[in-house]
Structure formats: C-alpha cells, structure tokens
Amino acid sequence: MINPNRSTSESVLRRLKEASYERMRVELKCSIELKMKDFDMTWDDLAEKLKWPWNRHHS
C-alpha cells in the first residue's frame, strides 16, 4: 500500500491534524449550541444539568 503522506513533513502533518481537531471542536460546539437553543438552555443550564462544578454566574 502506498503511503499518501510519505513525502509530507512532520510539521505539515501536525498542523493538518491540529486543524482537523479544531474543526471537529467547532462543529461539536455548534451542534451542542443548536440543541441547547431547541431546549431554551444556556451554558449555565447545561453545567447545572451535568453537575459541572464550574458555573459562569456562580463562580
């Protein structure tokens, strides 16, 4: 099997991986925010439901 990344530098591969994780993080955040909007929830509401110790308005 031919490795498509064979001639690609480590730094380029690292930046591509970081960009991929950043896109995934942003997509996940947007999906969560859309679902929260459906339920008329804020991040504080979500933190309370999940019993997260940190809460923006109560720290």
What pLDDT does 59 receive?
46
Indicate whether 57 pLDDT > 80. no
Q: How many CA atoms lie within 13 A of 22 on its CB side?
A: 6
Q: How many CA atoms lie within 13 A of 25 on its CB side?
A: 6
Report the alpha-carbon distance of residue 42 to residue 46 in Å, rounded: 6
Contact (Cβ atoms closer than 8 angstroms) between residue 44 and residue 56: yes
* pLDDT, average across residues 8-32: 93
- State pTM to two decimals: 0.63
- Domain positions in the chain are 10-58
pLDDT cut 90: percent of the chain above it: 56
Q: Which residue has the higher pLDDT, 55 or 31?
A: 31
The confidence band for 56, taking pLDDT boundaries of 50, 70 and 90, is low
